[in-house]
Amino acid sequence: MSPNNFLQEAKTVEASNSAACYFPLMSGRYEVKPGMMAFGSCLGNTPADQQVFQIDDNFTHYRQAKLLARGERLNKYYQICNYSQAVAGA
């Protein structure tokens, strides 16, 4: 995959055959709270709702984008604050 066109290859949830769809506004009310649910709860994406890691048609594309970003400059994609050398070494 070329670095110049990898952003154009991801499919939308609607265009993907295997992507789970999660739409949090189904109740018509916007709430900011932890959405804790029992693992395996039916969210309308069976059998994806039963999987811890949901790997869909876009997995290869997103993994390649992550690898390209890490190869570019890893420290560009994370921050540290008050991070001692002892903690970094551990």
Residue with more model confidence, 27 or 41: 41
- What is the value of pTM for the model shown? 0.53
Supply the pLDDT for residue 24. Answer: 61
Q: What is the mean pLDDT of residues 84-88?
A: 85
Q: What is the mean pLDDT of residues 11-34?
A: 74
Residue with more model confidence, 5 or 71: 71
Q: What is the 3-state secondary structure (H, E, C) of the chain?
A: CCCCCHHHCCCCCCCCCCCCCCCCCCCCCCCCCCCCCCCCCCCCCCCHHHCCCCCCCCHHHHHHHHHHHHHHHHHHHCCCCCCCHHHHHC
Q: What is the mean pLDDT of residues 14-41?
A: 76
Supply the pLDDT for residue 67. Answer: 92
